[in-house]
Amino acid sequence: MCTAVYACDIGSVKSGAFAWARNDSLNNAPTASGDIDDLITNIVNDVASGATISLGFEAPLFLPVPDDSTCLNSGRTGELNRSMFAPPGATVTTIAIHETAWILKRLQLALQPQPTLTLDWESNWQAPGQLFIWEAFVSSNAHSDTHERDAATAVQYFLDNIDDLSAANAVTCENPLSLVAATAIWSGWLSDIQTLHLPCLVLKPTQPYNGRIDPA
Q: Residue 53: name the closest of 67, 65, 42, 61 by CA.
A: 42
How many CA within 13 A on the CB side of residue 207? 4
Antiparallel, parallel or unpaired: β 202-203 and 116-118: unpaired
Query: pLDDT value at position 1?
Result: 65
- Alpha carbons 117 and 44: distance in angstroms, whole number: 14
Question: Running along the chain, 216 residues long, what does each successive block of 10 average in pLDDT?
Answer: 94 96 97 98 96 97 96 93 90 97 98 94 94 96 95 98 97 97 97 97 97 96
Q: Is the dihedral of CA 38, 179, 109, 132 positive or negative?
A: positive
Query: pLDDT value at position 81?
Result: 85
Q: Is the dihedral of CA 121, 103, 41, 211 positive or negative?
A: negative
Q: What are phi and psi of 116, to 5 degrees?
A: -85, 120
Query: pLDDT value at position 143?
Result: 93
DSSP characters over 88-115: HHHHHHHHHHHHHHHHHHHHHHH-SSPP
Annotated domain spans of the chain: 3-215
Cβ of 88: how many Cβ atoms within 10 Å? 11
Instruction: Please state, in angstroms and as integers, the Cα–Cα distance from residue 191 to each residue in 114, 117, 132, 185, 209, following that order.
Output: 14, 11, 16, 6, 37
- Alpha carbons 7 and 213: distance in angstroms, whole number: 14
Q: Which tens digits make up the pLDDT trace of 52-91?
A: 999 999 999 999 999 999 999 999 999 988 899 999 999 9
Query: pLDDT value at position 112?
Result: 87
Q: Residue 103: name the closest of 9, 209, 214 by CA.
A: 9
